[in-house]
Amino acid sequence: MRALDYKLYYFLGIGGIGMSALARYFNHYKKVVCGYDKISTSLTKQMEKEGIPCHYEEDVLALKNLLSKYKKEEILIVYTPAVPKDHQEYVYLLENNYNILKRSQVLGEITRQFKTIAVAGTHGKTTTTALVTHLLKSAGINCFSFMGGISKNYNTNLILGEINDQESFVVVEADEYDRSFLTLSPQIAVITSVDADHLDIYGDANQVMEGYALFAKQIKEDGVLIVKKNVDNELRPANKKIIYSLNLDTEYCAQSIRIENAQFFYDIKSPVEFIGNVALGLPGLHNVENSIAAVAIAQQLGIKGDVIKEGLRSFSGVKRRFDYRVKTKKVVYVDDYAHHPEELKATIGSVKKLYPGKKITGIFQPHLFSRTRDFADEFAASLDMLDECILLEIYPAREKPMVGITSSWLMSKMKLVDKKLMTKEQVLEEVKLNAKEIVVTMGAGDIDLLIEPLEKIFRQTE
């Protein structure tokens, strides 16, 4: 059966950013959609307002009652690999032979009816996906989009287009976790970066690169691969290949990069059409680089320079990606999803460039025991770029604790003098008592629970 042919769609892990986009997609087409997640979040609350029931306790009896209202062939179970294999509902569904598909398999099925633009990479894929979507929308191109974050321009992670338009595109964030991106067959693909990550899945850096090489081979025969310089040497598909970089001598790159009033301005070198004096609506040198990839895609679709330039200027970014939360004369507060050493380095480096001479306080929550263990030295080096570092305990997500792998152990590897380990409550007391100039919260766990309380404290000091 095709993705839209079922009557009931039940999601295990419905609160995940990718899962929620799929749930909203099926809900839009008047299907019965509901699901389980571990905790209630702003995202699940929003879905509940949209008519998608969510529950937060493993309840096999309630699940049986729900499923009994439909024939088994009318039901699709969508799950994320982040759900534990001993989850009671998952075990019941597996033992009773329900049709269970991973999120990535369902997304792959949906995308087959469209021309697919897939954005992959260890870092930068969410922002690039959102920016490509915004450029297509700005140009009036019919498109769907499944984003791995909440676009601030549209306040959603799902954009819906006209499904009967044979020329419509779908823009998708191609997730490398669990090799999910291998379910996609894109017309245009981007690889923004390849760094070792998810070693619990891949084992080592060579296997990570092999995964991306396989993804590149998924591109259609007449398709295009747009890839960042230094990654391209490892990827040799038969497809047309376009190389980009931040400021190297590549087909696409930024030139004359400058900062004016904490905003980046630059020119874009292109084999199609030079675009001068671009003002990006999003801070950060890494986002300048992401914009180069997005422009290369836009020009492949025939979008003109003036439309691209306005789209870059009006792009508001993605929530939790270099997200300005407070910006006053007394304090600047930025929130970012950074959870890999390279992402921390990019975020902290961009803040230092934008606010030279200011004291930067970073509040970081490590994500996963395995990632903290695998990249402890790299995390320490990135965090040492701060003037002051506050660490939260490791967010476990799907993992069980590992002996000796703690935030205290990570902190012992740091050379920075001004460092401390705190609870979320202690963080709030700290910022109340001690004035800060620049504050950056970073992490992929539940550190987002600090955002609104911190905003409130900082606004009270205006």
CA-wise closest residue to 170 among 271, 21, 2, 5:
21
CA distance linking residue 246 with residue 276, whole number of Å: 15
What pLDDT was estimated at residue 208? 78
CB atoms within 10 A of CB 2: 9
Give pLDDT, residue 62.
95
Extended beta strands in 217-355, E state: 224-228, 240-244, 253-260, 263-269, 275-279, 323-327, 332-336
- pLDDT tens for each residue of 123-152: 888 999 999 999 999 999 999 999 988 999
pLDDT for 232 equals: 65
Q: How far apart are CA 44 and CA 49, in angstroms?
A: 9
Answer whether 0.85 is exceeded by the pTM: no
Q: Residue 260: what pLDDT?
A: 83
Which helix (H) or strand (E) segment is 401 a member of?
none
Residue-wise pLDDT for 212-241, tens only, equals: 888 888 899 889 999 998 776 666 555 688
Q: Which of 451, 428, 456, 432 is nearest to 440 (CA)?
A: 451
pLDDT value at residue 261: 78
**Using an 8 Å Cβ cutoff, are 292 and 327 in contact?**
no
Cβ atoms of 375 and 340 within 8 Å: the answer is yes
The predicted structure's pLDDT at residue 329: 86
Phi/psi at 277 (5° precision): 55, 55
- Which stretches of the chain score pLDDT less than 50? none
**Integer Cα distance of 364 and 334 in angstroms:** 12
Predicted local confidence at residue 321, as pLDDT: 82
Query: What's 445's DSSP letter?
Result: S
Cα(191)–Cα(142) distance, rounded to whole angstroms?
23
Identity of residue 447: I
Q: What is the pLDDT of residue 236?
A: 59
213 in Cβ contact with 234 (< 8 Å)? yes
Q: What is the pLDDT of residue 194?
A: 82
